[in-house]
Amino acid sequence: MLRPGGRLLIADLARTPREYAAVLARLNAQDIRVRDLGWRAWWGSPWVPTRLLTARKPARSGRYPLRAPASRPA
């Protein structure tokens, strides 16, 4: 579970970032980005690089505003 406005980071060798990006786009994720983690994240050779996908869950809309915290008595 990810709170509204929260960030998701995925580093995976089994699937391509495009697969994750497609699913996250259907779920209305925002700021979907993919970047290479560089040579330190290679698994044996440059033919198996690790890429990082980041995305952000949209903030809550005005339809469901957050409740103000209850005030405490002094």
Please give the single-letter amino acid code of residue 2: L
**Over the stretch 47-64, which tens digit does the pLDDT of each residue have?**
888 889 999 999 875 554
Residue 58 near residue 40 (C-beta atoms within 8 A): no
Q: Domain residue spans in the chain? A: 7-56
Structure tokens at 7: 């960030």
pLDDT at 7 over 90: yes
Using alpha carbons, select from 22, 25, 28 the residue that is nearest to residue 4: 28
For residue 72, what pLDDT band results from cuts at 50, 70 and 90?
A: low
Q: Is the pTM of this model over 0.85?
A: no
